[in-house]
């Protein structure tokens, strides 16, 4: 029984972390967000809503500075105040902002946003269990190995989710008559932002596939649609 104690503790820890993470996320988003009311963006979100058979797509402004977009576990879509400022300044177009919203809608529709909260808890459980087990046999280094293993696993899952959300967004933007050129142009702008910060990736690119690979995947998708059409 004692041999399985670390695993049982890790499972209990994961459950506690999951509930705490959900509570903390909802509380923070509720306290720091308001619904977006922008005529230009609403016109495009209405086009996407019509393509999905919905009345409208509510989008919320999350009052933080980093340039980011996110989908909450409850299905709400957010863009940060920092991202919206880029749009207001003309650095990001309305179509490019709509591609962010479509991408986050993909995370919701494909179940990524809710699953990621579970994955976060699972990552902590895996890290805790491995650290407990390896720490007995490889002091100090065992904890490092546990952290690296959990981080690599989560990065792989995240990249897979991003490709799927990109594909969903491409299909939605095409059906809505917006097109996917805005997706590709936004990726290039975010890459420039990364370079301008001396190699420090903006939040929206963390744990994401490389920009060139994402654009190549979209072009492959376009070519496949043309062939099928």
Tens digits of per-residue pLDDT, 104-124? Answer: 999 899 887 666 654 444 455
What distance in Å separates the CA atoms of residue 211 and residue 224, rounded to the nearest whole number? 20
Tens digits of per-residue pLDDT, 154-177? Answer: 555 577 788 899 999 999 999 999
The residues, ordered by sequence, that sit 6+ positions from 155 with a Cβ below 8 Å of its Cβ are: 207
- Single pTM value for the model: 0.74
**Which CA distances in Å does 229 have to 86, 87, 224?**
36, 34, 8
- pLDDT for position 2: 52
Q: Give which of 158, 184, 172 is closest to 54, Cα–Cα.
A: 172
143 three-class SS: helix
Which of residues 66 and 179 earns the better pLDDT score?
179
Of all helices (H) and strands (E), which one includes residue 60? Answer: strand 59-62
Tokens 């060139």 locate to 212
pLDDT over 50 at 196, yes or no = no
């Amino acid at each position: 029984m004692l041999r399985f104690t670390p695993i049982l503790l890790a499972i209990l820890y994961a459950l506690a972390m999951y509930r705490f993470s959900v509570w903390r996320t909802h509380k923070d988003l509720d306290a720091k967000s308001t619904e977006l009311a922008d005529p230009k963006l609403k016109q495009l979100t209405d086009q996407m809503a019509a393509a999905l058979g919905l009345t409208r797509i509510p989008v919320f402004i999350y009052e933080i500075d980093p340039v980011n977009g996110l989908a909450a576990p409850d299905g709400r879509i957010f863009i940060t105040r920092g991202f919206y400022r880029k749009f207001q300044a003309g650095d990001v177009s309305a179509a490019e902002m709509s591609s962010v919203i479509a991408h986050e809608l993909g995370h919701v529709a494909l179940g990524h946003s809710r699953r990621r909260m579970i994955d976060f808890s699972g990552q902590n459980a895996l890290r805790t269990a491995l650290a407990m087990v390896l720490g007995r046999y490889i002091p100090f280094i065992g904890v490092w190995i546990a952290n690296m293993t959990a981080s690599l696993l989560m990065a792989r899952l995240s990249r897979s989710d991003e490709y799927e959300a990109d594909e969903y967004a491409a299909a939605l933007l095409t059906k809505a008559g917006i097109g996917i050129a805005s997706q590709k142009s936004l990726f290039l702008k975010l890459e420039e932002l990364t370079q301008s910060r001396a190699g420090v990736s903006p939040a929206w690119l963390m744990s994401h596939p490389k920009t060139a690979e994402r654009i190549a995947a979209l072009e492959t998708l376009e070519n496949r649609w043309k062939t099928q059409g």
